[in-house]
């Protein structure tokens, strides 16, 4: 029989398997969740230094905390969780540890898995890691890169109203599924082959169908501000018309 101190950890690992979020293991102060469809993924895969020149920084969005990595299972995106604002001066990468299931990497992986399994346009989650340091932890997540995807401000057909209607239609699909995307900005809207995807679900959540519409409006307002700030290659009147195409499709 396992020692008493190990029983909660073993129970937690069994719970992870039952929830079908992937394969989870705890080794000392490390939690690792991996996608069963991607055998061979280890904790090293979530360390950009381990990849060396195979890790290339992602330029758009973020805080210099994401990399494209070439693996034997395809191209992926590695992202480390980092703080912004004034608090980053005290601790850029460490968060207060309150349990493995409350770590940001665990929550985002679990949410991504659920959205992906529902057929929503999100990247396939590959692995998540949290490493504990006493009262704190650091975290990272690994997702499959969407081939050919570029952020909304970088698409060639930016003035195509059909594209903006597709963005509105896609956001509505997520909202109808209850997703509250707290950081819905232009760089978290990707376009590939005419398809629109959402990324970066850190701190996002699923809400009940009858939870009201204020959170939906907050998402749209945040994206609207981002459009005004990032979509500068078109005139203000044209930008307003494109946004109206998005809004009409969303509310239609």
Torsion of CA 163, 169, 172, 173, to 10 degrees: -110
Band (19; pLDDT cuts 50, 70, 90): very low
Residue 139 β-bridge partners:
130
Global pTM? 0.86
CB half-sphere exposure, 13, CA atoms < 13 A: 13
Residue 91: which of 99, 82, 103 has the closest Cα? 82
Q: How many residues does the structure list for the chain?
A: 252
189 vs 220: CA distance, rounded Å: 12
pLDDT digits (tens, 9 = 90+) for 93-126: 899 999 999 999 999 999 999 999 999 999 999 9
Residue 248 belongs to what H/E stretch?
helix 236-251
Band (212; pLDDT cuts 50, 70, 90): confident
Over range 235-250, report the average pLDDT: 98
CB half-sphere exposure, 49, CA atoms < 13 A: 0
Q: What integer pLDDT is reported at residue 127 of this predicted model?
A: 99
Q: By the 8 A CB rule, do 197 and 190 touch?
A: yes
Domains in the chain: ranges and CATH: 21-144 (3.30.200), 150-251 (1.10.510.10)
Q: What integer pLDDT is reported at residue 1 of this predicted model?
A: 52
Residue 68: which of 80, 60, 58, 53 has the closest Cα? 58
Over range 14-37, report the average pLDDT: 66
Q: Please determine, for residue 22, whether its predicted confidence score (pLDDT) is greater than 70.
A: no
The catalytic residues are: 183
Q: How far apart are the first and last CA of the chain?
A: 60
For tokens 């909660």, what's the residue?
A: 8
Residue 138: which of 8, 76, 75, 48 has the closest Cα? 48
Residue 226 β-bridge partners:
none
68 vs 144: CA distance, rounded Å: 10
Reading the block at residue 165, the tokens are: 């209607």
Highest mean pLDDT among 77-91, 130-144, 203-217: 130-144
Output phi, psi for 53, to 5 deg.
Answer: -70, -10
Percent over 90 (pLDDT), the chain = 79
Q: Please determine, for residue 62, whether its predicted confidence score (pLDDT) is greater than 60.
A: no
Over range 207-231, report the average pLDDT: 93
143 vs 189: CA distance, rounded Å: 16
Q: What integer pLDDT is reported at residue 7 of this predicted model?
A: 53
Buried b (16+ CB within 10 A) or exposed e, 158-187: beeeebbbbbbebbbbbbeeebbbebbbbb
Q: What integer pLDDT is reported at residue 59 of this predicted model?
A: 74
133 Cβ partners below 8 Å, 6+ apart?
A: 29, 94
């Amino acid at each position: 029989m396992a020692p008493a101190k190990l029983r909660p950890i073993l129970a937690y690992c069994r719970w992870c398997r039952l929830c079908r979020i992937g394969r989870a293991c705890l080794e000392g102060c490390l939690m690792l969740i991996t996608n069963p469809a991607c055998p061979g993924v280890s904790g090293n895969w979530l360390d950009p230094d381990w990849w060396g020149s195979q890790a290339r920084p992602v330029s758009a969005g973020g805080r210099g905390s994401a990399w494209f990595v070439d693996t034997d299972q395809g191209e992926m995106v590695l992202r480390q969780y980092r703080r912004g604002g004034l608090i980053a001066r005290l601790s850029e990468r460490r968060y207060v540890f309150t349990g493995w299931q409350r770590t940001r990497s665990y929550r985002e992986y679990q949410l991504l898995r659920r959205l992906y399994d529902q057929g929503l346009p999100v990247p396939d989650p590959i692995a998540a890691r949290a490493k504990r340091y006493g009262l704190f932890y650091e975290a990272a997540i690994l997702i499959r890169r969407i081939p050919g995807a570029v952020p909304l401000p970088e698409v060639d057909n930016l003035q195509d109203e059909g594209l903006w209607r597709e963005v509105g239609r896609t956001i509505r699909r997520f909202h109808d599924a209850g997703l509250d995307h707290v950081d819905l900005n232009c760089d978290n809207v990707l376009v590939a082959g005419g398809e629109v995807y959402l990324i970066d679900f850190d701190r996002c959540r699923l809400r009940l169908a009858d939870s009201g519409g204020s959170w939906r409006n907050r998402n749209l307002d945040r994206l609207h501000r981002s459009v005004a700030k990032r979509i500068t290659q078109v005139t203000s009147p044209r930008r307003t018309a494109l946004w109206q195409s998005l809004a009409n499709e969303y509310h239609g």
